Structure 1
Amino acid sequence: MRDSVGEKLRERVDDRLGDPIWWNDLLQLAKTVFAAVAAWVIAASLLDLPQPFLAPWAALLVVHATVYRTFSKGMQQVAATVVAVLLATVVGETLGLSTGAIALLLVVALVLGSVPWLGAEATTIATTGLVVLTTGFESDVMLISRLIDTAIGVAVGLLVNVIVWPPLRRHTAAKALDRIDDGVGELLADMAGGLGEGCQEADVAAWVERTRDLDGDLEQAWALVRQAEESARLNPRRQARAMRNPEQWHGLLRRMEQAVAETRSLARTLGGQSAHRDTWGEAFADAWISMLGDAGRATSEADPAALLDVRRRLEALTEELRSTERSPEWPVYGALIINLRNIIDAMDLVAEANPIGHARVPLRVPQRRGAAWR
């Protein structure tokens, strides 16, 4: 039992160590912390500014998930911070630190936050202004110091995020695409297994529901591909060039959308049949169910050769059925054959492209002889 628990824990750690997405997120976290700490050290220790808290605050606002967003969204947040410092100074000099001053500050800050150019940074203006107002606003020297603090944080955040391994969300998008084709393949294989055992209406309803889940995965994948495309803008890394116009990724997602739609149509066709094997006949049922399961496994394993083999077998079955006596089930045969053919045609190029830049990091937990972890 202890060996089993240790093995499972070791596998989970190995999965983490080999996951480039996890390493990318960890690196982004480390860069954010480093930028904030470096801004604090420069403002507090090197320049000895009286209240250097705005330096790490600005650095945190600037470091974003992509370089493009660092410049676009980050600049909006920096502008909001500068506006907040100036607003707090004006309100403080006019009304002092009072309840009325705080109320006025918050009202004006929330109104300014609705200006489109500021990117709806109402919360940033309000919180920064509130901190500045409550920590002191007595002199022009303090105002200049806080603007210098902000400038330091902005500069450090930009430099760290652009120079130190600028983020490229390619692996995140690739993993989302891999998850979809795995899901389509697993669903096809499960449908073949259910048909072989004699499925019920509840099974068909569950298959249709799983296609809806895949639709949700597709929406998320589109969003991640768009984020990956954004991460390539202004990104100096060589790998970013391919992501600036990811037509291949868009084409693969469209093919997956078609495969999911065809799978749902297939499930609905099966739902209209109350006794599959009895009504279809063994000649069609055995061959077609076998091909459905093989297509599912080939899709999950990203095996284009296996998908092509299923396509050939499907064509041979179609020719064989044409040469035999017509059956009253021909409309059903045709629907099932067309659905499966369209799924294979949609997923063959997906299988060829898989994995699309999703390589594991070669790190694992070292094994020890004679120990539980091996």
Structure 2
Amino acid sequence: MSTWRERVDGRLGDPIWWNDVLQLVKTVLAAVAAWVIAASVLELPQPFLAPWAALLVVHATVYRTFSKGMQQVAATVVAVVLATLVGEALGLSTWAIALLLVVALVLGAVPWLGAEATTIATTGLVVLTTGFENDVMLVSRLYDTGIGVAVGLLVNVIVWPPLRRHTAAKALDRIDDGIGELLIDMAGGLGEGCQEEDVSGWIERTRDLDADLDHAWALVRQAQESARLNPRRQARAMRNPEKWHGLLRRMEQAVAETRSLARTLGGHSAHRERWGEAFADPWISMLGDAGRATSAADAAGLLDVRSRLEVFTEELRATERSPEWPVYGALIINLRNIVDSMGRVAEADPMGGPPLPLRVPVRRRGAG
């Protein structure tokens, strides 16, 4: 029950999940409203194209609603006209369906239509098989489409227009959590005496983080797109996301430094024995503290590790004459660069606030 409750609480406090729920509700609202207007208010004879067009128009961003949505609406209009022409020429027959599909797929390859071959083919097929007898029906279907387009645009623009800032911020938050957890695991493994397979696992996890970074770049670009034509005040900051690009570049550096650190460790299997306690204990402690501060987005904690690392380096320079100095230097530089990069990320706080305060209610014992 506790695991189930934690998962539900995580969902309820996740702004990305709520954004997806809101988009689903808006899509349904637009389709239902278009159907009601076409069927009940205007009493059009076959109003199914109104909710169909509304579904096509409601996209994840306002900009895409206008750009991609208009392409799909154009494809729908082309499909209605094409189905009417083919139906009047050949009637409802196997040859008519074959001709319709061939022409629809060819027209869908035209760049201006945005490769909407499937939309043209499916819409045209529905129109052809449900009736094409007269010009009044053609006008009615174009009217249905116009209603769906108008309703979809209004709903997506007026009802809390989507802004993907939280989606991008959450992706960045997960990456710094991943970097922090990896650093903590590396510190724990070094303290217990890691093996070559541990080092290989750490390197593989940095590759997973690279994939997460690629995904985060895509989400930041989507967030920038979501700010275009968006009337919300918060959209202004996302129209020029240089700050986000800078954070992603710092995370990329941190991941690269972590991989370099792991490769250095992989070349020296007997870590504690070869390093000596004077280096191993303080450095491993700082590595773990850096990981914990990174996961918690604790800028002060990372700054403290940076200060300790500087003091530690000066002490080693004055007292240590070990042949392992090249290794010490590599590990110190890697950790310093990680701390500097993730410190800037923690200072920026891309999430911009606490999670939503929504939780599953806990029933008190003895209640009821």
Question: Which bin holds the TM-score, normalised by the shorter protein?
Answer: over 0.9
Q: Displaced runs of 4+ in structure 1, greater than 6 A?
A: none
Structure 2 CA distance for partners of 1:372 and 1:114, relative to 1, 3 Å = farther
Q: Does 1:347 align with 2:342?
A: yes
Q: Does 1:187 align with 2:178?
A: no
Deviation at 1:325, TM superposition (A): 4.6
Match of 1:102 in 2: 97
1:277-316 map, 5 Å: 277-316=272-311
Q: Does 1:172 align with 2:167?
A: yes
Deviation at 1:274, TM superposition (A): 1.9
Q: Does 1:337 align with 2:332?
A: yes
1:267-282 map, 5 Å: 267-282=262-277
Give the secondary-structure state (helix, strand or coil) at the position aligned to 2:294: helix
Deviation at 1:15, TM superposition (A): 2.1
Match of 1:243 in 2: 238
Give the secondary-structure state (helix, strand or coil) at the position aligned to 2:127: helix
Deviation at 1:8, TM superposition (A): 3.1
Q: Does 1:77 align with 2:72?
A: yes
> What letter matches 1:279 in structure 2?
R
Match of 1:231 in 2: 226
Query: Could you tell me which of 214, 217, 221 is aligned with 1:219?
Result: 214
25-34 vs 255-264, which moves further: 25-34
TM-score scaled to structure 1, two decimals?
Answer: 0.96
Deviation at 1:97, TM superposition (A): 0.9
- Once residues 207 and 259 of structure 1 are traced to their aligned partners in structure 2, the CA distance between those partners, rounded to angstroms, is 14
Unaligned runs of 5+ in 2: none
Q: What's the CA shift string for 1:61-98, capped at 9, x where partnerless?
A: 00001000000000000000000001111111111111
Deviation at 1:282, TM superposition (A): 1.1
Query: Could you tell me which of 17, 21, 24 is aligned with 1:22?
Result: 17
1:66-215 map, 5 Å: 66-215=61-210
Aligned residues: 368
RMSD over equivalenced CA pairs, Å: 1.4
Unaligned runs of 5+ in 1: none
> What letter matches 1:320 in structure 2?
E
> What letter matches 2:290 in structure 1?
A
Deviation at 1:177, TM superposition (A): 0.4
Match of 2:47 in 1: 52
- Once residues 43 and 355 of structure 1 are traced to their aligned partners in structure 2, the CA distance between those partners, rounded to angstroms, is 44
Give the secondary-structure state (helix, strand or coil) at the position aligned to 1:58: helix
- Once residues 141 and 243 of structure 1 are traced to their aligned partners in structure 2, the CA distance between those partners, rounded to angstroms, is 47
- Once residues 179 and 325 of structure 2 are traced to their aligned partners in structure 1, the CA distance between those partners, rounded to angstroms, is 26
Structure 2 CA distance for partners of 1:143 and 1:325, relative to 1, 3 Å = closer
Contact 1:208 1:267 in 2 (8 A): yes
Contact 1:218 1:257 in 2 (8 A): yes
Q: Does 1:252 align with 2:247?
A: yes
Give the secondary-structure state (helix, strand or coil) at the position aligned to 2:269: coil
